[in-house]
Amino acid sequence: MLKFFRRSVKMNHVFLLFSLCFSGFGFLQGVTSLGINYGQLGNNLQPPDRVLDLLSSLKLTKARIYDTNPQILTSFANSNIELIATVENQMLPVVMDPQQALQWVSTHIKPYFPATKITGIAVGNEIFTDGDKTLIGYLVPAIVSIHSALVQLGLDKDIHVSTSNSLAVLQESYPPSAGSFKSEVSGVMSQLLQFLSSTGSPFWINAYPYFAYKDDPNRISLDYVLFNRNPGMVDPYTNLHYDNMLYAQVDAVVYAMFKLGYGKIEVRVSETGWPSKGDSNEIGATVQNAAVYNRNLLRRQMSNEGTPLRPNMRLEVYLFALFNEDMKPGPTSERNYGLFQPDGTMAYNVGLSAIAKTSSTSSTSVSLTSSATKVKP
């Protein structure tokens, strides 16, 4: 009986694998470039026009901001930067009302579009794991209202609506095929996934292998989380081999969505990064590790890689973050995720400048492409 049970579990996972691997071929072709998170919790940051110059010099064409700062939206007009704007968490109870959502979009988005290439709106950030649990109930109504406002204004074909989620929404993530959502969020999560599926919008995940390593450095291989050469791990139910944790985390999300009945939604990484400095108990937060993580991730993106579960789709990734932000609360690491210091000098050399120079002289498209589109064989 036990042998039969194991065989049944194995067959179910094989079916999941087959279904999920081929579900990616239904995706629409997306825009292609690596993104970066442009946070503003600092009192000494460069003005937006200087930031635009920095992004342009690095050949980066995607950025995500955590509000709708009018200075940024104005400064980025008539540039090639595609922006994800954000409805801040505290605004969810307001914009869940359709009229308020229409007013918000009319005030914060429409005046700047299309001169400023706003391609997405994130309604809240990590709502499911926010300290204010009342926000969860507002999330889907707010998303639907914002999308309806875009439809009413004729902007829905150009601007998608989603929300960024912490990896903590998962009950299980190891092995990836065991990926599942926590029971306490599964109800609202199903509603969110229904919306994303019906509108063709992506599921955004903030995924940080650093946290897993920090919490258990004796059991988790540093090379595995840094994308260095390592034996990796094999999912015992799918036989898929993983040589880095980020891809395993992304695939765990794909499996979790499939188990709720949604196997074709694209997963994008809205945040990932590594701190260059931390407190004494923040193991691994060093300049060397931060440089290695981000440099290796860039190399993977340049190779047009997908995850083991969806190898034919490049994974869209937004690095966290552009700048070190001195006003962020929490441990020291929170203020040291930036690739650059507030004055625009490099916090460490991740190799972006060299890649930018290469892309400007090469006939091939090597501008840090990382969209979840089919990869040519």
* pLDDT attached to residue 277: 98
Distance, first Cα to last Cα, the chain? 44
**How do residues 213-267 score in pLDDT, each as one tens digit?**
999 999 999 999 999 999 999 999 999 999 999 999 999 999 999 999 999 999 9
| CA angle, 273 then 126 then 339, to 5° | 20
Provide the strand spans (E) within the chain: 35-37, 62-64, 82-87, 117-125, 160-166, 170-172, 180-181, 203-206, 233-234, 241-242, 267-272, 317-319
Residue type, 349: N
Residue type, 264: K
Percent of the chain whose pLDDT exceeds 90: 79
**How do residues 340-367 score in pLDDT, each as one tens digit?**
999 889 999 887 655 445 444 433 222 3
| Options 271, 282, 316, 325, the catalytic residue | 271
pLDDT at 57 over 60: yes
pLDDT at 1 over 90: no
Q: Taking a C-beta distance cutoff of 8 angstroms, is the pair 306, 260 a contact?
A: no
Residue type, 303: S
**How do residues 171-220 score in pLDDT, each as one tens digit?**
999 999 999 999 999 999 999 999 999 999 999 999 999 999 999 999 99
If you average pLDDT over residues 31-56, what whole number do you get?
A: 89
| Options 126, 266, 282, 305, the catalytic residue | 126
Q: Could you confirm whether 271 is annotated as catalytic?
A: yes
Distance of CA 258 to the CA centre of its chain: 19
Q: Could you confirm whether 126 is annotated as catalytic?
A: yes
**How do residues 89-147 score in pLDDT, each as one tens digit?**
999 999 999 999 999 999 999 999 999 999 999 999 999 999 999 999 999 999 999 99
Please tell me whether residue 87 adopts helix, strand or coil conformation: strand
Residue type, 233: M
In this structure, of 56-65, 133-142, 151-160, 178-187, the range with the lowest mean pLDDT score is 56-65
| CA dist., res. 251 & res. 246, Å (int) | 9
Helices 98-108 and 135-152 pack at an angle, to 10 degrees, of 60
| CA angle, 280 then 285 then 288, to 5° | 130
pLDDT band at 302 (very low <50, low <70, confident <90, very high): confident
What value does the mean pLDDT of the chain take?
88
